[in-house]
Amino acid sequence: SISAVTGHPRWDSRGRPTVEVVVRTGDGSVGRALAPAGASTGSGEAVDLRDGGPAHGGYGVDRAVDRVNGPIAAALKGLDAADQAGADAALEAADGTAGFAHLGGNATVATSLAVAQAAAAASGLPLWRALNPAARRLPLPEVQIFGGGAHAHGRLDVQDLMVVPYGAGSFAEAYAWCNDVYRAAGELLDRRGARAGVADEGGWWPAFDSNEAALSALTEAIEAAGRAPGDEIGISLDIAATQLADGAGGYLLRREERRFDRDGWCELLLGWLDRYPVVSIEDPFAEDDPVGMAALTTAVAGRVQVIGDDFLVTDAARVHSAADTGACTAVLVKPNQAGTLTRARAALDAAHARGLTAIVSARSGETEDVAVAHLAVGWGSGGVKVGSVTRGERTAKWNELLRIEEELGVDARFAGRSGLGLDGG
């Protein structure tokens, strides 16, 4: 049983404090986990508890760490680490609010993950295998090539321009292809004098004048890497449209100084989907615009995967209502949006029960913690999204997936195109 739970202040990939939790059990097993943090967050997410005030830009986590060492430790002591649902229920009871406003979702998600790691350690298995001994599927990666939006000071309006290497025969081959595209994209930016650095998730920060210029450059980079766009590698966009909403039902492309009403915005996006080999689009409309989400999903049915992120905030009830209204075909699963592994797992189970694809995802603010790689395999998600190919907090997760594929050996199955949930996959 759990003998100690301790909280510790650590640091994330944006130079902001974050919460680490260590869970110890009576038999000497140790589980450790770090909380990630989003920048373009949905309003329905579990609360990211910060200290405010002048220190650390207001991002301090002393209060969240105190919650771990105080009420959280008291609530979990003596519980069985192998009973994830029981530990997570104890966190809910100790909090008493809907979105972990009292304990902090950053404190609870790190605790919940550390409990899972302690249980895995006690069983002598890596987390993915402890979650599902029969797991063998490697998810289809969405790999960021260009970063924009809230992760690059709005240099591009679209937040993530990613590639999905569904034509590859293994996760290892798929990931190698993405690195080829990344290098080709960098060379292309150099030739145009448009390389401005890297964004929060490691993708190139391009100095383009329009979003469509980035789409066309990405298509060229796939070709320059020797891959067939739309055949071997497709494009995946995270519009993160909540960030682009003008508050009056419309949407803004700030770089291009253009405003669109809902119908015009849908036309614009459909034009991009027609002209470029896009196979997946995330949050094409704002979190409070289910009508727009459903309109686009209907228009691209069977052709393009439509993912809800801010729109669903890893919440099982929202997943069910999105399935009822046909608002999207896939669900981004971010454990810290939910606050516990049990709640995140419920959102993933709801997706699978309703025939939607699940994509396990990291956040734009991350650490070297690799648990999301294990969750993606252990939970059998179709996709996985952890950023670009640069920055150690990203490569930590990709390399962990490579290790898992290697460990599975001949039993490994790469999701490939079935990971997109198109063609009935």
Annotated binding-site residues for Mg(2+) read 238, 282, 309
Q: Which of 20, 45, 201, 366 is catalytic?
A: 201
d(CA 81, CA 87): 7
Q: Does 394 bind ligand PGA (CB under 6 A)?
A: no
Site track 213-252 with Zn ion (rule: CB under 5 A), x = hit: -------------------------x--------------
Q: Which of 334, 366, 400, 405 is catalytic?
A: 334
Site track 12-41 with Zn ion (rule: CB under 5 A), x = hit: ------------------------------
Q: Which stretch binds Zn ion (CB under 5 A): 3-11, 189-197, 304-312, 352-360?
A: 304-312
Q: Does 421 bind ligand PGA (CB under 6 A)?
A: no
Asked about 334 being catalytic, the answer comes back as yes
Q: Which stretch binds ligand PGA (CB under 6 A): 127-135, 224-232, 358-366, 403-411?
A: 358-366
Asked about 201 being catalytic, the answer comes back as yes
Tell which residue, 135, 121, 103, has the closest CA to residue 27: 121
Site track 211-240 with ligand PGA (rule: CB under 6 A), x = hit: ---------------------------x-x
Q: Which stretch binds Zn ion (CB under 5 A): 16-24, 95-103, 195-203, 303-311?
A: 303-311
Least Å distance, CB 282 to Zn ion, is 5
Site for ligand PGA in 148-187 (CB under 6 A): 159
Site for ligand PGA in 24-63 (CB under 6 A): 38-41
Q: Does 363 bind ligand PGA (CB under 6 A)?
A: yes
Least Å distance, CB 38 to ligand PGA, is 3
Site for ligand PGA in 305-324 (CB under 6 A): 309
d(CA 333, CA 99): 16
Residue closer to Zn ion (CB basis): 60 or 234: 234
Site for ligand PGA in 63-122 (CB under 6 A): none
| Count of residues that interact with ligand PGA, criterion CB under 6 A | 11
d(CA 400, CA 132): 17
Site for Zn ion in 309-338 (CB under 5 A): 309
Residue 92 interacts with, from ligand PGA, Zn ion, none (CB under 5-8 Å by kind): none
Contact 118, 25 (CB under 8 A): yes
Instruction: Cite the active site residues.
Output: 201, 334
Interface residues toward ligand PGA, by CB under 6 A: 38-41, 159, 238, 240, 309, 361, 363-364
